[in-house]
Amino acid sequence: MASIQLQNIEKRYGGFVGVQGMSLDIHDEEFLVLLGPSGCGKTTTMRMIAGLEVPTGGTIIIGDEVVNDVDARDRDVAMVFQGYALYPNMSVYENIRFPLRMRGVPAADHDRLIRQAADMVELGAFLDRKPGALSGGQRQRAALARAVVRQPQVFLMDEPLSNLDAKLRQSMRVQIKHLQRQLRVTTVYVTHDQIEAMTLADRIVIMNKGAIQQVGTPDQIYTDPANTFVAGFIGSPPMNLIDGDAQGGRFTAPGVDAPCPAGLQGKVTLGIRPEDARVGGDHVQGMVYGVEPTGDVTYLTVLAGGKQIEVKAARDFRSDIDVAITIAFDPARLYFFDAQGERIRGDA
């Protein structure tokens, strides 16, 4: 079975800690996304699963085996790289064949498996070409085919879509998800793009500075963030985070006066997503700072007490700048975080 367990994994480079004390259980056949900003340790973690980096502490278990001392080439793991890493001197056919040759798959099976893999990514017509003669999207699919052909226990994908243009990215997302479902292979996917994470993942692991911030389904991450980092990372535009004081059921900050749970006391941070705020009401008194119509929605930025608050307004909302305006928050969708950024749970 291809579950993966990371037990207290650590990766140090001299004095610098890339990944610290990370523990994670990855379920068989799940699509897990490691999400976070650059330098957060997500790629390092994945490379440790691949065997390209050796952990300086902790244990990695793939299936039932401890694999810390198993070389990358001996693990049953396939990887798709950000730059695709296709072998430039070989045709697509030979590229896809390479892992089969390396793993000692009988030569008689090669052709069938290669064509199968190529068909899965719709690259059947391009098998004779060399990577240099392919477009970006085609190269990416070739890299996918090469990973798929071996039917490994685990797929690893390191930001495979980040070199593609936006439109291609979208269609490839769908294809990757479909492929994973078809093949039912445990997949670990690394990205800094939250939309990819939200659309692809069964579960998301958000990382920052080498540590896990939160693990959960996309829904959970979105509606139940564990701290201000997660709250501010997911969502576009990100959740508004306002520092202020809570006292007797009211949250106050310059220009802001909103309800909060009765038991809350002292310095807290209020979080509210732009789509959960609307023009009108009296929670926020401020000035219009910016109006950005995008066709299906208008992004409104309000300046209150020196802070910019984003609101998703109706598509026909228009206003001049520096006009006074008020904002209301949906009280059912307020989040509160303590002074360390940790989420204060309990009834809102």
Question: Which positions lie near other proteins, rule CB under 8 A?
Answer: 47, 50-52, 63-65, 67, 69-75, 77-79, 81-83, 85-89, 98-99, 102-103, 105, 109, 113, 116, 119-122, 146, 150-151, 156, 175, 178-179, 182-185
Radius of gyration, CA atoms only, the chain: 24
Q: For 51, how many CA atoms within 13 A lie in the half-sphere containing its CB?
A: 18
Least Å distance, CB 92 to other proteins, is 14
Q: For residues 65 and 111, which CB has a smaller minimum distance to other proteins in the complex? A: 65
Residue 199 or residue 319: which is nearer to other proteins going by CB?
Answer: 199
Taking the C-alpha atoms of residue 160 and residue 171, their distance in angstroms, rounded to an integer, is 13
Smaller CB separation from other proteins, 11 or 150 = 150
- Closest CB 12 distance from other proteins, rounded Å: 16
Our CB check for other proteins shows the closer of 178 and 345 to be 178
The minimum distance between CB 52 and other proteins, in angstroms, equals: 5
- What's the min distance (Å) between Cβ of 177 and other proteins? 10
What values do phi and psi take at 206, rounded to 5?
-90, 130
Q: Any residues with CB less than 8 A from the CB of 64 and at least 6 apart, and which?
A: 1
Measured from the CB atom, the residue of 111 and 292 that comes closer to other proteins is 111
Q: Cβ of residue 230: shortest distance to other proteins, in angstroms?
A: 30
How many degrees, rounded to 5, is the angle at CA 127 between CA 125 and CA 133? Answer: 95
Q: What is the rounded (10 degree) CA torsion for 303, 308, 312, 315?
A: 50
Please name the residue that has the structure tokens 């996918």. 144
Supply the minimum distance, in Å, between the C-beta of residue 93 and other proteins: 15
Q: What is the 3-state secondary structure (H, E, C) of 199-221?
A: HHCCEEEEEECCEEEEEECHHHH
Residue 174: which H helix or E strand, with range?
Answer: helix 166-183
